[in-house]
A and B are shown apart, each in its own frame.
Chain A
Amino acid sequence: MSAKKKAKEDKDEIEILQEKLQSIKGQEGIIGYILRASNSASIDLKDPTKIINYAILSATAFEAGQDISSMFEIGEVDTILLEGENTKILSMVVNSNRLSIFMEKNVDHNELCKDLNLT
């Protein structure tokens, strides 16, 4: 496959993913998301003052997920879920893009995975 074709495919995949995220974002209890591709990032959060905190937490979750995976030999990481007092974060790699979705604790994150066609 030529590099140009591959780049176009990647772009299409991101656009499809972003469309899905836009629809998920409207659901009750969803706080927002951060999508990091190799050269760009899309951030959509209800409270923009928390962007840095959420971005740092998301990056740390990915790092910890990788470390824990190699410690316990559980293979490539599918999803990482962090649960706080009232909020939770679902992080995953989708087509080599790092996605973290922030939501209230009562949201069914398994449904989100289905919505994203990840299960």
Chain B
Amino acid sequence: MNKDHYAVALKNALTEVRNICPDVSHSFIFTKDGMIIAGDPETEEKTMEKMMRSFQSVAEKSDTIGSLKALYVDGEKGKVILSSINDMYLALAASKNADTTYLHSVTRVIIPTILKLLETITPTPLQLTPSKQLVVDTLSGFFIGDSVQIDTELLEEWAKLLNQKDVNEVEIEAFSGKATQCKAKEINDPQLKGKGMIRIPEKLCKTLEVKKGELVKVKPAST
């Protein structure tokens, strides 16, 4: 089973959860690294990304209580549950009157069982393309070429994850939705290494409509 089938299976599961319990208004699954695996058709990707950022800001500061396992927000008109399942997180938003027992069954039993089942019937380990958010630094000059520059460690990490010798091409997506694919090299300025940066030639920055200091999502180009 490839990653698309895996995502489709999860998406269908989330849609069914919603059909059975109409009180669930939004549901999606994402990884610790901030990658969306699947979401119900009603939830916009922007909303999922915002939610992930909020969640990550809390998770980053959660060392004091051990790793963050769950986050519940109870509001006057509804509730949001964020629950960890292995290396992933399931987010559910529901109306105030939603059956809590049912929601807990979904977060603690149904979705974990589906994930386990999918992993059992997957012949090879699931390989999800890992994406990272990097800060843009612009490259200018005559001899800069068309390649972007990224930390060597990150390129090596991706190559290892994807079981490839190396990663030479990446996909870059700005938060505006503009995206492009280009060659990638390691950062050559020692002072800029290890700072979570991506150095992008000015021309490419214009294409992506990004400026220095802004965040972009970067992942290895699919081969």
Residues in chain A within 8 A of chain B (CB atoms): 50, 53-54, 56-57, 60-61, 63-65, 67-69, 71-89, 102
Whose C-beta in chain A lies nearest to the C-beta of B95? A74
Quick check: which of B3-11, B56-64, B133-141, B206-214 contacts chain A, the rest being far away? B56-64
Residues of B within 8 A of A68 (CB): 51, 54, 73, 80
Contact-residue size bin, chain B (C-beta under 8 Å from the other chain) = 20 to 34
Residues of A within 8 A of B57 (CB): 60, 63-64
Cα–Cα distance between A57 and B63 once the two chains are bound (Å) = 9
Known: A61-B58, A64-B57. A74 touches B64 (CB 8 A): no
From B64, B68, B72, B96, contact of A50 by CB (8 A):
B64
Cα–Cα distance between A76 and B80 once the two chains are bound (Å) = 13
Cα–Cα distance between A53 and B47 once the two chains are bound (Å) = 28
| Interface check B78, CB cutoff 8 A | yes
Known: A64-B54, A67-B54, A80-B71. A74 touches B62 (CB 8 A): no
Whose C-beta in chain A lies nearest to the C-beta of B25? A72
B48 to chain A, nearest CB (A): 9
CB atoms of B66 and A87 under 8 A apart: yes
From A64, A87, A88, A89, contact of B55 by CB (8 A):
A64
| Interface check B26, CB cutoff 8 A | yes
| Interface check B93, CB cutoff 8 A | yes
Cα–Cα distance between A8 and B47 once the two chains are bound (Å) = 43
From B61, B69, B70, B78, contact of A57 by CB (8 A):
B61
Residues of A within 8 A of B87 (CB): none
Residues of A within 8 A of B72 (CB): 79-81, 83
From A53, A54, A78, A86, contact of B74 by CB (8 A):
A78
CB atoms of B73 and A88 under 8 A apart: no
Cα–Cα distance between A74 and B78 once the two chains are bound (Å) = 4
